[in-house]
């Protein structure tokens, strides 16, 4: 910890020495001396915990007082939008899920960081692959968020079980199911994905992978397509090779069950790798491997993660940018990861041999140019869309409806929802 603190201190001196005079301003004088306070709006997560570990050194070196408020995920979106609507200036920095980006863009709630980003050698946007450079961009081109975590869905598997049975990580969904069958026949549970309250995450990923879409370019729903129906059928098929309790497992429980029980493989976001390093959760230490997602008719990388940005009504935007640049820039990228954060997909991080040895999942953050990157749907009505989708998919998984009937009904239900999307 002492070494880390010293490294952070040295890094901050360098960042501030270089950045205060060299960074572009986005309408603010970045050469002015930092002062005052910063109010951070954070959502509890490994990344928000890591951010806070950098605060004491930043305060010591700059004299800027940093205040933190945390709001649970389920309440964060509405609380932020209300604050921005009131123009209260309550927050200088705000963390948000990438699924929040579209309504924030429509509300013009955040500061465009484009000039700051392009003018910062320390942040170095070119250290990210193209698909990840755009992760915090609005459709209209403004950069409303920096990447706080890069979390593609990936394949996780038990290396000991795979070696024993002579199987390899799946490259296709057919192979994924076949592997799960072999593992189940050996006495372990075959595989695990989230069939519970977060089932929409896996379902929409499957739809994309099977070559389908959730809606077309004119915002007409397309979940009644043969691809979407086939994806839903396959999702139900996977329940036959899943452990007890899978039908109600949320994303956190999926991870803890996979790491704590005798299960061959799971599909989940890379950001959960911190649990692998926690012996209180991982009962299979040294036996966890990672690989890219299996593919269907399309090679899809479902990229999730956190963004963080500066609200439009921030009272201290210059200091806010310097704090973000300090925590998320190149100098402290390694320290940020090692402090427990979900990794940021910097090429300098994903290709670092020492880090790869400790965090082998980093290799999955290098998304091939051949892959199509899909994010959470960037529409303001997504929360309502998602509730309807979860209900329909759950009916299929529980045997109350077949996929064709459920997806046909869902498609009709989504028409008035998508019609409300601001144009």
Instruction: Give me the residue spans of the domains in the chain.
Output: 2-150+305-345, 151-303+371-419
pLDDT grade for 18, boundaries at 50, 70 and 90: very low
pLDDT higher for 11 or 419?
419
Of residues 208 and 24, which shows the higher confidence score? 208
Average pLDDT over residues 168-182: 98
Angle, alpha carbons 275-281-286 (nearest 5°): 75
Quickly name the fold that domain 2-150+305-345 has: D-Maltodextrin-Binding Protein; domain 2 (3.40.190)
Task: Please determine, for residue 169, whether its predicted confidence score (pLDDT) is greater than 90.
Answer: yes
Report d(CA 353, CA 371) in Å as an integer: 24
**Rounded mean pLDDT of 173-196?**
97
Is residue 7 pLDDT above 60, yes or no? no
Longest dimension (CA), the chain: 67
The Cα 401–Cα 398 span in angstroms is 8
Chain mean pLDDT for the chain: 90
Please indicate whether the domains covering 2-150+305-345 and 151-303+371-419 agree at the CATH topology level: yes
Contact criterion met (CB below 8 Å) for 176 and 170 = yes
**Predicted local distance difference test score (pLDDT) of residue 340:** 87
176-180, 194-198, 301-305, 369-373: range with highest mean pLDDT: 176-180
> Does residue 218 surpass a pLDDT of 80?
yes
Mean pLDDT of 80-96: 93
Rounded distance, CA 311 to CA 365, Å?
28
- Residue pair 170/294 in contact by the 8 Å Cβ criterion: yes
Examine the pLDDT at 11 and tell me if it is beyond 70. no
pLDDT over threshold 90, residue 181: yes
Distance CA 396, CA 206 (A): 15
Residue owning tokens 């309250």: 197
Q: What number is the average pLDDT over the span 354-373?
A: 89
Once rounded to an integer, what is the mean pLDDT over residues 60-89?
93
Note the pLDDT tens digit of each residue in 121-132.
999 999 998 778
For strands 65-70 and 93-97, give the pairing. unpaired
pLDDT band at 247 (very low <50, low <70, confident <90, very high): very high
**Single pTM value for the model:** 0.85
Token duo for residue 413: 């239900």
CATH number of 151-303+371-419: 3.40.190.10
- What was the pLDDT predicted at 368? 81
What pLDDT sits at residue 119? 96
- The token duo for 97 is 């899920």
Give 62 or 6, the one with higher predicted confidence.
62
In this prediction, residues 298-325 reach a mean pLDDT of 96
As given in the structure block, the two tokens for residue 263 are: 């299960």
Tell me what pLDDT residue 33 has: 77
Strands 37-42 and 65-70: parallel
Percent of the chain with pLDDT over 90: 78
Angle at 277 between CA 275 and CA 282, to 5 degrees: 65
User: Quick count: other Cβ atoms within 10 Å of Cβ 237?
Assistant: 12
pLDDT at 72 over 50: yes
């Amino acid at each position: 910890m002492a070494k880390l603190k010293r490294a952070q201190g040295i890094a901050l001196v360098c960042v501030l020495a270089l950045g205060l005079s060299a960074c572009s301003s986005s309408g603010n004088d970045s050469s002015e001396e930092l002062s005052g306070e910063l109010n951070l709006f954070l959502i509890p997560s490994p990344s928000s915990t890591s951010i806070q570990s950098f605060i004491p050194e930043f305060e010591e070196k700059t004299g800027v007082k940093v205040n933190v408020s945390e709001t649970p995920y389920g309440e964060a979106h509405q609380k932020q939008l209300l604050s921005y609507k009131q123009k209260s200036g309550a927050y200088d920095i705000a963390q948000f899920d990438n699924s929040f980006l579209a309504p924030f863009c429509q509300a013009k709630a955040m500061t465009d960081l484009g000039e700051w980003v392009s003018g910062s050698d320390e942040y170095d946007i070119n250290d990210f692959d193209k698909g990840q450079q755009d992760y915090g961009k609005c459709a209209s081109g403004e950069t409303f968020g920096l990447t706080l975590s890069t979390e593609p869905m990936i394949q996780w598997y038990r290396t000991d079980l795979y070696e024993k049975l002579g199987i390899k990580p799946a490259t296709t969904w057919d192979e994924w199911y076949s592997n799960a069958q072999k593992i189940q026949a050996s006495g372990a549970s075959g595989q695990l994905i989230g069939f519970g309250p977060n089932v929409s995450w896996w379902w929409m990923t499957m739809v994309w992978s099977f070559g389908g879409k959730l809606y077309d370019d004119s915002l007409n729903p397309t979940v009644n397509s043969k691809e979407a129906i086939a994806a839903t059928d396959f999702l139900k098929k996977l329940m036959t090779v899943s452990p007890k309790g899978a039908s109600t497992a949320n994303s956190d429980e999926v991870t803890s069950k996979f790491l704590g029980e005798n299960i061959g493989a799971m599909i989940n976001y890379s950001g959960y790798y911190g649990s692998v390093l926690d012996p209180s959760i991982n009962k299979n230490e040294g036996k966890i491997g990672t690989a890219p997602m299996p593919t269907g008719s399309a090679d899809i990388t479902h990229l999730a993660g956190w963004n963080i940005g500066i609200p439009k009504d921030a009272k201290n935007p210059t200091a806010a940018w310097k704090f973000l640049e300090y925590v998320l820039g190149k100098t402290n990228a390694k320290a940020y990861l090692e402090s427990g954060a979900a990794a940021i997909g910097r090429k300098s991080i994903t290709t670092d041999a020492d880090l790869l040895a400790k965090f082998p999942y980093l290799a999955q953050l290098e998304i091939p140019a051949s892959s199509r990157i899909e994010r959470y749907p960037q529409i303001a009505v997504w929360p309502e869309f998602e509730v309807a989708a979860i209900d329909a998919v759950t009916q299929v998984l529980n045997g109350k409806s077949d996929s064709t009937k459920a997806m046909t009904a869902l498609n009709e239900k989504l028409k008035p929802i998508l019609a409300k999307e601001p144009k």
